[in-house]
A and B are shown apart, each in its own frame.
Chain A
Amino acid sequence: QSALTQPASVSGSPGQSITISCTGTSSDVGTYNYVSWYQQHPGKAPKLMIYDVTNRPSGVSNRFSGSKSGNTASLTISGLQAEDEGDYYCSSYTSRNTYVFGTGTTVTVL
C-alpha cells in the first residue's frame, strides 16, 4: 500500500489561510469518507485534528477544516497562528481493511 501524497511543505503568514492536499486512489480516499488529519509537534505524539473528512474532535479549533473531492482530501487552516507550525499527516481507510498515512507536510508560519 503506497503512502498518500502530500506536499512536503506549506507556509503562510500569520492570519492567512493555507490548504494541505492529500492525494490517494479509488481504493482509499476516493471511496471512503474515513479520512483523518493529524498534527505533530517535534518530539511529541500526533494529535487528531479532523476525522471522517470534515469532523473536528472536541477541543480542536474551528480554524481547522477538512474536505474531499474525488481522490484528494484537503485540510485548511484559517487565521494561521504560530502554534500551528508542525507536521501534518493525512490518513485514510483502504479497501484492504487497513489504513494508510500520507507522506507528511511541514507547515511553517512566516
Chain B
Amino acid sequence: QVQLVESGGELVKPGGSLRLSCAASGFTFSDYYMSWMRQAPGKGLEWVSYISNNGHTIYYGDSVKGRFTISRDNAKNSLYLQMNNLRAEDTAVYYCARDGGAPGDVWGQGTTVTVSS
C-alpha cells in the first residue's frame, strides 16, 4: 500500500544540524511532487517546502529559507530535509507528504525534532 515513513528526528542543540529522511513505497515516487510540513507542539500546521518530481523546482517557507534544504533521490524512493542552524522555534513534528492533486494526499506518521539546550 501507499506509505511514507519519516525518520531522523531527535533532540538537538540550538545552532545544530539534522537531516530528516522519508522513505516512500507503494507508488511511483518519481511521478510526484513531495512536501515537508511541520506542526509545533499544540500549534497548527505549517508548510515548510516542496520539491518537484525531477528535483528541479524547489520552494521554501519564509521561516526556513536559507537554513533548510529539501532534496530527493528517486532511485532510492527517498525525500530528505537538511536542517541547519536550528532554533527553538523549529521544534515540531515534521511530516513528509505526497502532492497528488493537492499537497498532502498522503502523509507519513511524522518524526519529532526537539531543539533545546
Contact = CB atoms under 8 A, between A and B. Distances in A.
Interface of A: 1, 3, 34, 36, 38, 40, 45-48, 51-52, 55, 57, 89, 91, 96-104
Interface of B: 35, 37, 44-47, 50, 59-62, 95, 101-105, 107-110
Contacts of B61: 1, 98
Contacts of B44: 3, 89, 101-104
Contacts of A40: 45
Best-buried of B45, B47, B59, B110 by chain A (most CB within 10 Å): B45
A36 B45 contact: no
Given A1-B62, A97-B59, A48 B47 contact: no
B50 A48 contact: no
A47 B103 CA distance: 11
11 contacts: A36-B102, A38-B45, A38-B104, A40-B45, A45-B95, A46-B104, A48-B104, A57-B105, A91-B102, A99-B103, A101-B45
B102 A48 contact: yes
A100 to B, nearest CB: 7
B22 to A, nearest CB: 12
Contacts of A1: 61-62
Contacts of B45: 38, 40, 46, 89, 91, 101, 104
Given A1-B61, A98-B61, A102-B44, A48 B105 contact: yes
Contacts of A45: 95, 107-110
A36 B29 CA distance: 22
B47 A91 contact: yes
A96 B61 CA distance: 10
A54 to B, nearest CB: 12
A104 B35 CA distance: 19
Contacts of B60: 98
A35 B94 CA distance: 22
Given A1-B61, A46-B45, A104-B45, A99 B50 contact: yes
Contacts of B50: 99
Contact of A51 (B59, B95, B101, B107): B101
